């Protein structure tokens, strides 16, 4: 299988998964993610992708851990500062954080790390970026896969935009929803570029997985603390 066919098949599988997820056709999240990952592994295997192509070379793991830890710390610093500033604190108040401590741990460990960060990074910074690098080189590959990563978040944004108090008013109108979706696509496109840089710089998928988990997980954790602090106050 050529790199072009590998890239096209991966995009097709991701598109079908996105539509199926949006209409609830794939069953429980664990089943859906397992099917997606299995399909991507099969595509990568048929394409002859190496562990280095996918960012899974064991020798690159130490660099992945170093870059991932640095990204984790940077995300934590940004979120702590955002929580301390009144102008940005409101964006952290999310109804999805109105859960107990046990549920928070489940969301962090299972929903975010196992069902989101790892499979999405394998898809976008593993199989997709690996084939795109062979087709276009690092810069174009990063731009194209990051744009697809941004589009990937359209459906989730539509599903969860009303959960955040700071943007709930804008989500009440069609124009507001369009702006929120465009904003989400832009933000996740930029995040995708950062994740690509981490993957290319460290040569390991571990770095973007850690950064992705930090972006989603620490945001939820900080929101959880903000919500519970407000309720105690």
Q: What is the pLDDT of residues 150-169, one digit of tens each?
A: 999 888 877 665 555 555 55
The pLDDT of residue 220 is 87
Bigger pLDDT: 226 vs 119: 119
Residue matched to tokens 């603390």: 225
With CA atoms as reference, report the closest residue to 208 among 198, 216, 193.
Answer: 198
Tokens matching residue 112: 């975010």
> pTM (2 decimals)?
0.90
Q: What are phi and psi of 94, to 5 degrees?
A: -125, 135
* Whole-angstrom distance, CA of residue 67 vs CA of residue 82: 23
Tokens of 62: 């130490």
- Mean pLDDT confidence for 78-93: 72
Q: What distance in Å separates the CA atoms of residue 18 and residue 9, rounded to the nearest whole number?
A: 14
Closest CA to 148 of 163, 127, 169, 178: 127
Q: In this model, does residue 25 exceed pLDDT 60?
A: yes
> Which residues are CB-neighbours of 88 under 8 A, at least 6 positions away?
82
């Amino acid at each position: 299988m050529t790199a072009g066919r590998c890239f096209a098949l991966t995009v097709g599988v991701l598109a079908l998964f996105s539509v199926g997820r949006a209409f609830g056709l794939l069953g429980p999240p664990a089943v859906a993610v397992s099917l997606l990952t299995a399909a991507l592994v099969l595509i990568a295997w048929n394409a002859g992708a190496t562990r280095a192509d996918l960012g899974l070379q064991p020798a690159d793991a130490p660099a992945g851990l170093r870059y991932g830890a640095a990204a984790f710390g940077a995300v934590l610093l940004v979120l702590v500062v955002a929580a301390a500033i009144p102008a940005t604190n409101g964006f952290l108040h999310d109804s999805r954080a109105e859960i107990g401590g046990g549920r928070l741990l489940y969301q962090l460990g299972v929903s975010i790390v196992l069902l989101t960060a790892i499979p999405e990074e394998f898809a976008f910074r593993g199989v997709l970026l690996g084939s795109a690098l062979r087709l276009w080189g690092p810069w174009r590959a990063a731009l194209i896969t990051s744009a697809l990563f941004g589009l990937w978040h359209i459906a989730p944004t539509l599903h969860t935009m009303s959960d955040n108090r700071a943007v709930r008013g804008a989500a009440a109108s069609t124009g507001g929803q369009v702006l929120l979706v465009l904003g989400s696509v832009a933000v996740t496109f930029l995040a995708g570029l950062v994740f690509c840089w981490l993957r290319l710089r460290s040569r390991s998928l571990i770095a973007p997985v850690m950064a992705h988990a930090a972006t989603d997980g620490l945001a939820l954790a900080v929101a959880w603390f903000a919500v519970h602090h407000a309720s105690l106050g």
